[in-house]
Chains A and B, each alone.
Chain A
């Protein structure tokens, strides 16, 4: 909401400092997003008087003027037809930058030097007029700043009004909040040249007439109260400067006097008003009813709109003429030919307006306000002020009293407040009279009733419906910063920590120790493989599904690193993946760990002859094993084509590792990765085993494995046959040669007994048993050297 500080000052009848106002509003009311001094680009423009003007020889439109700019009389050549001796105009000296960015210099025209420019409204960005220069009607002398002379010095505040506070969508409402701070009453500005206010409205139950128009409400739910006035004999034209200035100060464009008057009241009182051209209303009737299926209307913006019975329409005898509370129709729009107008001042049901503007995908100043709730009790005053203002700016004869169709007059709402409850919630004692004072300053009417306060809520505060809302008002007016910040001990939480969080932390620690960095990717992806959960209203087709796997996102991150000429990439991610639930329930979520590595396994060092080796699949196998050890489900790794899969004890696929195909630049290394479900497992604490007190005995075995025998097969057989003396068995070499019937794999075996120092012959016996068993079971023999 744009606010003019000048406008607020007029309502409070006092000077206001913009910075101070912004601070008061921020700390007591709503945040101020911007404080913007207006028309700063016109700071250097001055008032100048033309002391002489004569047509330039051999030109049919240029005038040579002698211009007094307050300090000197200079020659200025002017092309405007309306320049005349003795008049004052805005003047830009050489060196001035105009709002359109043009910097003025001295220019020679037809042999005469022109020292600056007399400006039009358009050139100063003050209005559309460019037919001539802007003649000033002012007492300011030559050389005075234009901003002062035109009363343009103003500051605009951008108030970030929360959706619960429709009252702050107008100057009167904001002035009311400031008035509570400054202890100043709010008084509406007198309207220049206004006639006396007309007669008060006449309330009728269902329908009534005004100025020959019969007004009735059929849709009481959608429009509980509808007032109308008729003003005859208006002349449509531009608004007076004061009204245009008010509208411009909040960033609104002046249109014509009648429309400007309704807009002024919108920003002053938060009451949207609509003016119809009486001549265009068919059948002398206004009927407020639900739209009928299949009805359409062309709105002011020229769009044709399809209507449904969920929308409230303002109709004449033949059909819809406005979408109630949202936008007027093109057919009944006020035009230059209009002489008689029907003025509408209504209250529309917020939910109905919300539904209508969403269905029609349109939002207007009016719908924005009706949707948040306007002041139903203030309508009678608003329509009379509207009549007055329109007659002041557009003429018109004294109107009949407005008709007020109000089938079920609303009674003011009262909310009870227990003073002790204020301290109970806020934690600091606030005296009863202070509570009363705060509420009264905001327009609440407070009356004590047997230890409680009966608080009557003003019509502009639809958000206040229960006791706690009043307590917030008290806290706000006390100032949140006035409350202490003393820490008190509290009782411990009954809620246990979720164990998934420390598990994720452990996984992060392990992955970081492996040299990987944690990535965070968007969970929305373009592809929707089977079982992917679609997003019904995605931002783009690139984000139309929820991810089922983490690796595609990580692979994209690798591509981004490659694009930045980064060859060595090591990333992991912990994130949620989603599996669609066919029943329409929320998708099933699982937590995953994934990683990708490519490029050098270690940083290069000068002591090494060449570059370090690149990551390969054995690295990601290890990473997957580490992930599974720390956080995976119980299960095992299965070797397969192109990588490994991890299956749980129910043989369900839970992870994968291997090489990843990617669109790599030629200089990049191969990309490897893994992905794994992680879940909390009940883990027993590690049990200490006594450290060995006896020496180990080691043996190396180079074995020839026939085709089809895996290292795993051999290792299992070795362990089974060797028995408890075998402490460790590790592969340390593989050798392939055409001379071998298969391949040679070398194992390092460590034997140890906890009880005694093993002798070579003890171990030799075991090794021989192992060799015999390997030969018999797997056809594996010791390699001849």
Chain B
């Protein structure tokens, strides 16, 4: 037997040794036969062939072979005992209704899953995904978006201040201005990220929440394009048969402005307590980019038009999974995550 064959045999034996502690009864018998079987076991054969080796090699090979054989026999016996202890029966009468061996399953946060799904749907429409700073200036959070701090519209967003003129952004909309200042149209972006408002932490509000802002700016973008884009998203996300409707609303940075409702999933539009008997649930605000916003960002509002939208992945996650209280999405309980494991 050549030296290289022997070292290959040793390697096989080493691997088998590692496999033994987890082998089942059948495999265990197989390994025993293959490695230390009296007639054809690998190590048995090696030991038998020692006499053919040159004397100076004989000792080293013999020692290693014996060491491996001994280790294997101990391991095989231990494993055999362990299996016997559990089974106490012959291998073919195993109770295969016993539970399988599992590993821990992790999961991304359900809100992250919603964000990714939403952004991926808009990606189909050519939107790119960008992010921006969470601490913003009043200029980007308000002024450039046509929100005057002198007007009660500013009170729609109760704001955390970090310093004079510095705020925690109340929406991810500041990226509208940051993007329009850096890139020329056509612009198609979605902007996920945390937003902050001084709202009490209650079943339906949180002072910190995710927002996804969307923005399209180009020549010839119209209200019909807005409706088409949102309609495409709703049907993809909520299902092709879910009714969707646009209602008038007001945001300082869009004109016309709209709220988008989808058919209530709980009552299928019949009216229930979840949808306050309206049959619809509000899922986002949107509208045509206000010409003042385009002008504030250095674009010609006669030439370019656009649309924008903003939605709350926390709320959408709650609707989708029937989660009754937004606070559950901030508690980080393993009991909740195990329900969402992938």
Contact = CB atoms under 8 A, between A and B. Distances in A.
Interface residues on A, range: 35 or more
B224 A485 contact: yes
B106 A490 contact: no
B45 interface: no
A516 B10 CA distance: 38
Contact of B106 (A33, A351, A515, A757): A515
A569 B136 CA distance: 35
B229 interface: yes
A294 interface: no
B90 interface: no
Given A520-B330, A568-B334, A696 B188 contact: no
B116 A505 contact: yes
B332 A520 contact: yes
A517 B330 CA distance: 13
Contacts of B208: 522-524
B143 interface: no
Nearest to B288: A425
Given A165-B250, A493-B186, A512-B108, A500 B291 contact: no
Contact of A603 (B104, B127, B335): B104
A569 B184 CA distance: 47
A488 B225 contact: yes
B130 A425 contact: no
B296 to A, nearest CB: 14
Contacts of B276: 33-34
Contacts of B116: 505
A609 B188 contact: no
A609 B78 CA distance: 12
Interface residues of B, number: 106
B226 to A, nearest CB: 8
B3 interface: yes
A194 interface: no
B186 A492 contact: yes
Contact of A163 (B156, B187, B277, B337): B156
A468 interface: yes
A164 B332 contact: no
A486 B330 contact: no
A759 B3 contact: yes
A475 B104 CA distance: 54
A543 interface: yes
Interface in A298-343: none
A602 B223 CA distance: 54
Contacts of B134: 523, 576, 578, 589
A28 interface: yes
A650 interface: no
B102 interface: yes
B89 to A, nearest CB: 14
Nearest to A518: B109
Interface string A556-585: 010011001010111110001010000011
Interface string B234-263: 000000000001111110000111110000
A757 B259 CA distance: 73
Contacts of B150: 351, 354
A149 B152 CA distance: 43
B218 A491 contact: yes
A476 B198 contact: no
B80 to A, nearest CB: 14
A288 B3 CA distance: 111
Given A490-B216, A696-B11, A31 B259 contact: yes
A508 interface: yes
B162 A480 contact: no
A362 interface: no
Contacts of A515: 103-106
B76 interface: no
A561 B331 CA distance: 9
Contacts of B184: 494
Given A493-B127, A511-B106, A485 B332 contact: no
Contacts of B104: 515, 568, 570, 602-603
A475 B256 contact: yes
B152 A371 contact: yes
Given A162-B249, A497-B130, A517 B337 contact: yes
B219 to A, nearest CB: 9
A497 B126 CA distance: 11
B106 A513 contact: yes
A537 interface: yes
A483 B223 contact: yes
A568 B104 CA distance: 10
Contacts of A35: 277
A757 B4 contact: yes
B227 A483 contact: yes
B291 A466 contact: yes
B323 interface: no
Nearest to B131: A498
B248 A427 contact: no
Contact of B255 (A27, A469, A560, A576): A469
A605 interface: yes
A716 interface: no
A741 interface: no
Nearest to A609: B82
Interface in A608-635: 609
Nearest to B165: A584
Nearest to A508: B108
A452 to B, nearest CB: 14
B95 to A, nearest CB: 10
B224 A428 contact: yes
B135 interface: yes
A426 B222 contact: yes
Nearest to B105: A515
A358 B35 CA distance: 87
Interface in B278-321: 278, 282, 288, 290-291, 305
A261 to B, nearest CB: 27
A119 to B, nearest CB: 31
Contacts of B258: 480
B267 interface: no
A695 B127 contact: no
A43 to B, nearest CB: 19
A443 to B, nearest CB: 17
B52 interface: no
A514 B106 contact: yes
Nearest to B160: A535
Nearest to A515: B104
A539 B201 CA distance: 10
Nearest to B258: A480
Contacts of A576: 134, 194
Contacts of A505: 116
B102 to A, nearest CB: 5
Residue among A371, A471, A520 having the largest count of chain B Cβ atoms under 10 Å: A520
Contacts of A586: 133, 135-137, 162, 166
Interface string A461-493: 000001011011001100011011111101111
| Residue of A514, A564, A587, A757 with most partner-chain B CB within 10 A | A587
B121 to A, nearest CB: 13
8 contacts: A491-B186, A495-B187, A495-B189, A498-B130, A535-B161, A554-B332, A571-B334, A605-B102
Interface of A: 26-31, 33-35, 162-165, 350-351, 354, 371-372, 424-428, 466, 468-469, 471-472, 475-476, 480-481, 483-488, 490-498, 500-501, 505, 508, 511-524, 533-539, 543, 546, 554, 557, 560-561, 564, 566, 568-572, 576, 578, 584-587, 589, 602-603, 605-607, 609, 695-698, 757, 759-760
Given A29-B248, A485-B227, 9 more contacts: A163-B250, A483-B227, A487-B229, A488-B225, A495-B182, A512-B107, A515-B104, A520-B109, A587-B135
Going nearest first, the 3 A-B pairs with the smallest beta carbon separation are A427-B222, A515-B104, A427-B224
